[in-house]
Amino acid sequence: MDSSTVGRLLLALGVAAALVGGFLALGGRLPFGRLPGDISVQGQGGGFFFPIVSCLVLSLVLTVVLNIVLRR
């Protein structure tokens, strides 16, 4: 690999590490898992939770970020 490829890889890894760190630092304040449209059913024997809207938002954000990073 040439130096520009290694540089881009290190830059992408640094940005990814910063995003993960920011998400972990702000994770308690972000409404993921509590968005309108997330399915939550509680019963006597337990409960069921499926964060469908949170999954859609996360998928959209990751798609945009990866398209920007991996664009040639």
Please write the tens of the pLDDT for every residue from 22-37. Answer: 877 877 777 767 788 8
> Model pTM?
0.57
Question: Residue 65 and residue 60: Cα distance in Å, rounded?
Answer: 9
- Residue 42 bridge partners (DSSP): 47
For the chain, which residues make up each domain, given as ranges?
1-30, 31-72
pLDDT digits (tens, 9 = 90+) for 36-53: 888 889 999 999 988 889
72 has a pLDDT exceeding 70:
no
